[in-house]
Structure 1
Amino acid sequence: MKISKLIKKAETYARSDELKRKEKKKYLKKVIKKLRKHEDKLRQEYDSCTDFEKSRQLKQEIALAYNQRKKGVKILKSLKKKKRDRD
């Protein structure tokens, strides 16, 4: 193979990694936004709830949504850090 062909292959590979990372970041942002809205909705429902069992269940769901959102934010930060490290 000629050097120019090898360089083109390497550039294509590098771009595909960058595109995958961008797609993943975009998807994670959407999911995090949805989780935040869902968590807010659950908090409002929890505040207006009077039943003990229902409030306990809502509290668990809020904690789950919170933890999943934080996990997504952590992954998003690591993706951003990878980009900075590559530049």
Structure 2
Amino acid sequence: MLAAVIVNVGQAKTDLSKLLARVEAGEAVEIARDGVPVARLVRIEPTASGARFLAARGSLAGRISIGDNFEFTDDEIDQLLDEPT
């Protein structure tokens, strides 16, 4: 990995799209507050399951919707996904 580029919070807000392009190219970006790094942006390598999810999501676009009465909480959904099938 290349050495991290350090930017302040204000610059990160202004140039987020450009910084993300640099991250996608393999650079790390550190965001600093008052000259002290507090966060690091790094590229996430896609996983096989993530790629399958994105492909499935794209193929279902416009074919499904979530009703206004959908009442599951994030915790309930996580529990359902964690249970063995």
More strand by share: 2
Report the TM range for the smaller structure's normalisation: under 0.3
| Bigger RCO (CA 8 Å, 6+ sep) | 1
More helix by share: 1
From the CA coordinates, give the structure whose radius of gyration is larger.
1
TM-score, normalised by the number of residues in structure 1:
0.21
